[in-house]
C-alpha cells in the first residue's frame, strides 16, 4: 500500500513537471481540485456587484458617450481590473494566450450573476464587440465572443457575433488619452445583420475589459441606428477599469 501511494505520488509529481498547472492570478501551484485559479485568489476576486445596481460608475461612464433622448443603458462587470494586481492576468491570458479555460470559467461566473439579476435576466440577444477581420484572422478568435457564448448559453439568449462589423482597424487603446480613445473608435462599427436582431427586446453587448466606455458606447450608438427605440441595450464585461 505504501509502495502504491508513493508510485501514485511520483506519477502526480511527474505530471506536474510536464504540465505545470499554476494559478493565473498569483502563479502558485494549483492543487488537484483547483483549475485555472487558486481558492484564495477566487475568494478575493474584487467583484463589482454592479449587476445589482441600475446606476453605477460604469454605467455613468458608458452613458456619457450616449447623447440624445436614448434610454439609459445598464452596465456591469464581474470584477475590477486593477493593473497593479494579478487579476489583470485573467483577461490578458484570454486575449493574448488563448487561455479559453480561464476565460470560460470567469465568463460563466459573470453569466450566472446576470442570470440572477432582474436587470439582466431578460436579455434575449448577445452581441460580442467585434474585432477587425484582419485582427480576428491573425489571432484566430475573438475573446469577446468566447465570453459572449457562455453568457448567451446561461441566459437562453441568441449569440449574434455578426450583428456589428468593425469598419477599420483601430489603434490599441491602452496608450491613448481619453479624447484620443473617443475619436479612435468613433464610427468604428456598423450594423451588419439587422435581421438576426429583429424582435429582440434586450440586447447585451459583451467585451473583455471596459475602460473609458468609448468602444462599447460606439457599439451602442451603431445598434441604435437599426433597433426600434423601445429595445434596451446593455453592456457586460469581465473586468472594469477603476473602482
Ligand atoms: Zn492564486
Distance 26 CA to ligand 1 centre (A): 4
Asked if residue 103 has pLDDT above 60, the reply is yes
Same domain, 15 and 108: no
**Do residues 30 and 122 both lie within one domain?**
no
Residue 173 has pLDDT above 60, yes or no: no
Taking residues 1-23, report their average pLDDT. Answer: 71
Domain encompassing residue 55: 45-241
Nearest alpha carbon to residue 160 among 108, 125, 206, 122 = 125
Residue 132 and residue 61 share a domain:
yes
**CATH number for the domain that contains residue 50:** 3.40.50
User: In terms of domains, do 16 and 70 share one?
Assistant: no
Q: 38 CA to middle of ligand 1, Å? A: 4
- Specify the pTM: 0.89
Alpha carbon of 194 to ligand 1 centroid (Å)? 43
Percent of the chain with pLDDT over 70: 89
On the question of pLDDT at 171 being above 70, the answer is no
Assess whether 112 and 193 both reside in one domain.
yes
Of the two residues 183 and 85, the one the predictor is more confident about is: 85
Look at the alpha carbons of 22, 45, 172, 54 in this order and tell me if their dihedral is positive or negative.
Answer: positive
User: Domain check: are 40 and 119 in the same one?
Assistant: no
Compute the distance from residue 166 Cα to the ligand 1 centre, in Å.
Answer: 36
102 burial via Cβ count (<10 Å: 0-12, 13-18, 19+) = buried
Residue 68 CA to ligand 1 centre (angstroms): 45
C-beta neighbour count of 12 within 10 angstroms: 11
For the chain, the average pLDDT equals: 90
Q: Are residues 171 and 211 in the same domain?
A: yes
| Average pLDDT for 77-86 | 93
Q: How far is the CA of 101 from the centre of ligand 1 (A)?
A: 15
| CA–CA dist 202, 30 (Å, integer) | 39
Ligand 1 center–CA 97 separation, angstroms: 18
Residue 100 has pLDDT above 90, yes or no: yes
Mean of pLDDT values over 217-221: 95
Confidence of residue 38 (pLDDT cuts 50, 70, 90): very high
55: CA distance to ligand 1 center in Å?
31
Better-predicted residue by pLDDT, 3 or 116:
116
**C-alpha dist (Å) from residue 224 to 110, 139, 190, 207:** 25, 29, 10, 18
204 alpha carbon to ligand 1 midpoint, in Å? 30
- Quote the ligand 1 centre to 22 CA distance (angstroms): 8
Instruction: Please indicate, yes or no, whether residues 91 and 101 belong to a single structural domain of this protein.
Output: yes
176 band by pLDDT with thresholds 50, 70 and 90: low
Query: Are 34 and 50 members of one domain?
Result: no
- Report how far ligand 1's centroid is from the alpha carbon of 106 (Å): 14
In the reported structure, the alpha carbon of residue 87 is separated from the centroid of ligand 1 by a whole-number distance in angstroms of 9
On whether both 23 and 105 belong to a single domain, the answer is no
Query: Distance from the CA of 224 to the center of ligand 1, in angstroms?
Result: 41
pLDDT band at 54 (very low <50, low <70, confident <90, very high): very high
Region 12-40 average pLDDT: 88
Is there a single domain that holds both residue 97 and residue 39?
Answer: no
pLDDT at 15: 75
Q: Is 20 helix (H, G, I), strand (E, B) or coil?
A: coil
Q: How many domains does the chain have?
A: 2
User: Are 56 and 173 in a shared domain?
Assistant: yes
Tally helices (H) and strands (E) across the chain: 9, 7
**Centroid of ligand 1 to alpha carbon of 107 (angstroms):** 18
CA angle 201, 194, 237 (to 5 degrees): 60
- Give Cα 227 distance to the centre of its chain: 23
21 Cα: distance to centroid of ligand 1 (angstroms): 11
> Cell triple for residue 114?
446576470
Ligand 1 centroid from CA 232, angstroms: 37
Amino acid at each position: 500500500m505504501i509502495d502504491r501511494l508513493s508510485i501514485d505520488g511520483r506519477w502526480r509529481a511527474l505530471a506536474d513537471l510536464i504540465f505545470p498547472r499554476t494559478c493565473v492570478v498569483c502563479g502558485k501551484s494549483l492543487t488537484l481540485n483547483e483549475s485555472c485559479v487558486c481558492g484564495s485568489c477566487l475568494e478575493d476576486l474584487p467583484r463589482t456587484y454592479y449587476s445589482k445596481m441600475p446606476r453605477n460608475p460604469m454605467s455613468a461612464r458608458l452613458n456619457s458617450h450616449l447623447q440624445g433622448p436614448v434610454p439609459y443603458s445598464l452596465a456591469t462587470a464581474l470584477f475590477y481590473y486593477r493593473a497593479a494586481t494579478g487579476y489583470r492576468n485573467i483577461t490578458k491570458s484570454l486575449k493574448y494566450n488563448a487561455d479559453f479555460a480561464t476565460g470560460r470559467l470567469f465568463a460563466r461566473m459573470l453569466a450566472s450573476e446576470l442570470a440572477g439579476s432582474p436587470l439582466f435576466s431578460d436579455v434575449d440577444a448577445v452581441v460580442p464587440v467585434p474585432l477587425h477581420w484582419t485582427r480576428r484572422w491573425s489571432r484566430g478568435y475573438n475573446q469577446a465572443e468566447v465570453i459572449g457564448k457562455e453568457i448567451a448559453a446561461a441566459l437562453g439568449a441568441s449569440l449574434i457575433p455578426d450583428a456589428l462589423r468593425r469598419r477599420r482597424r483601430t489603434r490599441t487603446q491602452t496608450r491613448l488619452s481619453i479624447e484620443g480613445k473617443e475619436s479612435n473608435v468613433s464610427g468604428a462599427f456598423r450594423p451588419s445583420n439587422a435581421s438576426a436582431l429583429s424582435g429582440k427586446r434586450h440586447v447585451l453587448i459583451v467585451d473583455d475589459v471596459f475602460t473609458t466606455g468609448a468602444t462599447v458606447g460606439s457599439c451602442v450608438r451603431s445598434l441604435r441606428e437599426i433597433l426600434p427605440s423601445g429595445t434596451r441595450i446593455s453592456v457586460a464585461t469581465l473586468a472594469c477599469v477603476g473602482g
